[in-house]
Copies of this chain bind each other. A is one copy, B any other.
């Protein structure tokens, strides 16, 4: 029996509930395919942060770096200011482990409702390869020309109004700025990954690149040059360029055009949420943060949904699907395929489904059913 050690960070909100189902399903797949997972729990998240001040410490990161794959629930809590947990835990791990690929399959499973008219599972089946360590996610920015005091302002205001009859509206010319950066190597490695993936997928051998090179020309002109250069090594692959604004239209109107989509980090964030929606909603959208030579991390792409916490109500399928990607990363391809088949079969049965899919089943019932299918029904 192969033995794997997998760190698991259930996180905040519904995180623990959905991760429990993911583990249950992976354990069932392990029983069937001859491996056993030793789950190593990490407490990181809002509670832990509020108690100890730790987000994700150097020590924790070093310990996590001993493993090939981390299983992550969800991060985010209303008691903590926006950005703190996301940056301190989720983005921290993506950057620290140099998980330069954020892999997000957009696949409408049979029997799932999509908001788009006339689209079937064969029309919505592509993969977004999102760059995951650069671009506007590097966190560099600041403010300048901070305002003058209220007293000074009063003086200025009355002077302007007496002298020129003008109302001075705001107190300063304060500005805020943000810097994005992409590197040649950082861009090339993710684009190469996308081309290699298109070679392996059985679809159109097509890679679409996303940018806004007509306006953010410095950063995305550079992206486009790297894309062009790499595409020359893949003569079998068709390519095209999509402005980020335009691709949101085509995702809504012609998702069948896409096979592999490669995108800079921020645009990838945006278009994969739209992708999640057309595949049936966030309850069904998994993501992998991958470093092929290092430590990867798998998660549902949704947030922690604090208002549903503890209700055994939300859909665990995104997390279970992320679990399928995780065991694939471990090398357990058959178990990975089984998990995805079991998800599809469970949906097709159309009996056990959570509220977002029009049912009233519990989180745990969905996990139980998928685990049962793996054990008895594949």
Contact = CB atoms under 8 A, between A and B. Distances in A.
Interface of A: 82-83, 86-87, 91, 114-117, 136-137, 139-143, 147, 169-185, 188-189, 212-223, 244-246, 248-249, 252-253, 266-267, 269-274, 276-278, 281-282
- A-B interface, 8 closest residue pairs, ranked by CB to CB distance from nearest: A141-B218, A176-B222, A245-B273, A178-B219, A248-B274, A249-B277, A83-B214, A174-B184
A177 B181 contact: yes
Given A141-B218, A253-B277, 4 more contacts: A115-B117, A177-B219, A178-B219, A270-B270
15 contacts: A114-B117, A115-B117, A117-B117, A136-B180, A141-B219, A170-B188, A173-B184, A174-B184, A177-B179, A177-B182, A178-B216, A245-B269, A248-B274, A249-B274, A252-B274
A114 B147 CA distance: 47
Given A136-B216, A214-B82, A215-B136, A176 B169 contact: no
B217 A83 contact: yes
A277 B142 CA distance: 35
A249 B276 contact: yes
Given A173-B185, A174-B183, A281-B253, A245 B218 contact: no
B141 A217 contact: yes
A179 B179 contact: yes
Contacts of A271: 248
Contacts of A273: 245-246, 248-249
A318 to B, nearest CB: 14
Contacts of A217: 83, 87, 139, 141
Contact of A270 (B222, B245, B276): B245
Contact of A115 (B137, B140, B176, B253): B253
Contacts of A221: 83, 176
Contacts of A214: 82-83, 86-87
Nearest to A244: B270
A340 B305 CA distance: 42
Given A83-B214, A87-B214, A141-B216, A252 B179 contact: no
Given A91-B215, A143-B222, A215-B137, A249 B282 contact: yes
Contacts of A249: 273-274, 276-277, 281-282
Nearest to A253: B115
Nearest to A224: B82
A61 B273 CA distance: 41
Given A117-B117, A178-B179, A217-B141, A270 B248 contact: yes
A251 to B, nearest CB: 8
A183 to B, nearest CB: 5
A176 B185 contact: no
A214 B90 CA distance: 11
A229 to B, nearest CB: 10
B87 A218 contact: no
Contacts of A248: 248, 270-271, 273-274, 277
Contact of A215 (B83, B179, B219): B83
Contacts of A137: 215
Contacts of A272: 245
Most buried by B among A244, A245, A276, A277: A245
A378 to B, nearest CB: 32
Nearest to A215: B137
A263 to B, nearest CB: 12
